[in-house]
C-alpha cells in the first residue's frame, strides 16, 4: 500500500478526473466501487445539482469518493458548504490558489489535493498544506498550463521538488502508461479521457462517439491568450484557430467563445458549434467500456509488468 492508497483509503491508486460536463455520480461511484477514486466534477454544476449528485453517489457506494472544485467557481462558498455538510472525504482543487480553502477544509477533516501544471505551483500548493499534488501535463484535455510542460517532463520535476505524493495526469489511460507514470516518480494516476468513453459518463453519446473516432493529432491547444484549453478538432475549434491566426485580441476571442460552449458540445452533443474538451490520448481510445472494466484491465496489465519485471522487454 503506497501513500496515495493510504491517504484516500482506496484499493488502487487510480483516480478518475473530475471533468466538467460531466463527471457525475454514476461514473464516480462506479470507479470507487471498482477500487479506484471516483471524482464528481463540480465546475459545471449549480449548487443544488452538486448536492443531489453527492447524495446519489453516497447512496451508490460505501467507498471514498471526491469532488473536484475549480477555485474560480463563482458560488464556491455554497459548493464547499455542501461538501463539508455531506462529509465528502476528499476535495480536488484546481484553477486558482489553494491558500484560502485548504486550511478551512482540512480543519474539517477533508483531505485536499491540488492540480498543477508546473513545479512553481506545486511548491505553492505544498506550502498551502495540501496532502497530494496532481501534476498534469500538456497532453491532458481541457484547461492547461502556459508552460506547456508534458507529463514526461513535469512529473519527475514535481516529484523531485515536493515531499508529498504526486499523481500523474495527461496521456495516462492503461497499464503501460500507468507504469510509465510510476517510473517517473508518481504514486498514483489521474485518468480523464479514457473514463469519458464509458456508459457511466453522462456526457452526450455523440461526444463519446466522437472520442472513439478521434485520430492522432486531432486535439490542439487553443485560446492561449485567454486560458489555454485542449480541444478536439471541429468547426468551432477551427473558427477559434482562424481568429487566432488573424491576430484576434482577448475580447474578440471571448466573444467568439460566448457562453455555454462546453455544455453545448459535451453535454448536448453539438459537435459543430460546441467546445469538445478531451486529451491527446483520445486518438488511442477505440471503445466505450464500463468504468470497472477499465480499472480491472489497467490493474491486471500493470501487475503483469511489475510481477518481477520478468518480461524480457525490460531486460537489456
In 3D space, the residue among 138, 111, 135, 140 whose CA is nearest the CA of residue 123 turns out to be 135
Exactly one of 44, 68, 151, 190 binds a copy of itself (CB under 8 A); that residue is 151
Site stretch for a copy of itself (CB under 8 A), options 108-116, 132-140, 255-263, 266-274? 132-140
Exactly one of 107, 259, 272, 313 binds a copy of itself (CB under 8 A); that residue is 313
Burial of residue 276 (CB within 10 Å: 0-12, 13-18, 19+) is buried
**Cβ within 8 Å of residue 294, ≥6 positions away:** 191, 194, 195, 198
Q: Is 119 in the site for a copy of itself (CB under 8 A)?
A: yes
Grid cell of 313 as nine digits:
522487454
CA atoms within 13 A on the CB side of 247: 0
Q: Is 5 in the site for a copy of itself (CB under 8 A)?
A: yes
Exactly one of 83, 135, 167, 184 binds a copy of itself (CB under 8 A); that residue is 184
- As measured in angstroms, the least distance from the Cβ of 313 to a copy of itself is 7
Count of positions (residues) in the chain: 316
Question: How far apart are alpha carbons 171 and 166 in whole angstroms?
Answer: 16
Exactly one of 62, 163, 245, 251 binds a copy of itself (CB under 8 A); that residue is 245
Q: Is 81 in the site for a copy of itself (CB under 8 A)?
A: no
- Cβ atoms 175, 297 nearer than 8 A: yes
Residues near a copy of itself, by CB under 8 A: 1-2, 5, 12-13, 118-120, 137-139, 146-153, 156-157, 160, 170-172, 174, 176-177, 179-185, 187, 216-217, 220-221, 245-247, 280-281, 283-284, 305-306, 308-309, 312-316
Amino acid at each position: 500500500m503506497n501513500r496515495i492508497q493510504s491517504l484516500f483509503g482506496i484499493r488502487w491508486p487510480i483516480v478518475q478526473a473530475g471533468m466538467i460536463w460531466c463527471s457525475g455520480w454514476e461514473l464516480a461511484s462506479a470507479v470507487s466501487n471498482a477500487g479506484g477514486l471516483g471524482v464528481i466534477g463540480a465546475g459545471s454544476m449549480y449548487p443544488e445539482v452538486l448536492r443531489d449528485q453527492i447524495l446519489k453517489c453516497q447512496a451508490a457506494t460505501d467507498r471514498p469518493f471526491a469532488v473536484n472544485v475549480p477555485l474560480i467557481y463563482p458560488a464556491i462558498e455554497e459548493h464547499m458548504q455542501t461538501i463539508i455538510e455531506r462529509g465528502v472525504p476528499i476535495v480536488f482543487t484546481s484553477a486558482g490558489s489553494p491558500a484560502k480553502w485548504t486550511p478551512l477544509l482540512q480543519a474539517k477533516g477533508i483531505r485536499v489535493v491540488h492540480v498543477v501544471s508546473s513545479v512553481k505551483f506545486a511548491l505553492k500548493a505544498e506550502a498551502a498544506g495540501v496532502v497530494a499534488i496532481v501534476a498534469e501535463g500538456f497532453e491532458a484535455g481541457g484547461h492547461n498550463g502556459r508552460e506547456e510542460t508534458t507529463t514526461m517532463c513535469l512529473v519527475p520535476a514535481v516529484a523531485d521538488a515536493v515531499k508529498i505524493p504526486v499523481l500523474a495526469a495527461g496521456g495516462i489511460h492503461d497499464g503501460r502508461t500507468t507504469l510509465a507514470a510510476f517510473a517517473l516518480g508518481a504514486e498514483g494516476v489521474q485518468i480523464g479521457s479514457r473514463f469519458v468513453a464509458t456508459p457511466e459518463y453522462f456526457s452526450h453519446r455523440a461526444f463519446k462517439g466522437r472520442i472513439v473516432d478521434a485520430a492522432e493529432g486531432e486535439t490542439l491547444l487553443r485560446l492561449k491568450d485567454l486560458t489555454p484549453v485542449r480541444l478536439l478538432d471541429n468547426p468551432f475549434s477551427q473558427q477559434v484557430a482562424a481568429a487566432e491566426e488573424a491576430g484576434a485580441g482577448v475580447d474578440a476571442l471571448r466573444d467568439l467563445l460566448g457562453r455555454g460552449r462546453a455544455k453545448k458540445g459535451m453535454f448536448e452533443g453539438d459537435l459543430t458549434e460546441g467546445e469538445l474538451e478531451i486529451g491527446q490520448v483520445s486518438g488511442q481510445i477505440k471503445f466505450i467500456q464500463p468504468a470497472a472494466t477499465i480499472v480491472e484491465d489497467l490493474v491486471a496489465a500493470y501487475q503483469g509488468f511489475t510481477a518481477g519485471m520478468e518480461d524480457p522487454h525490460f531486460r537489456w
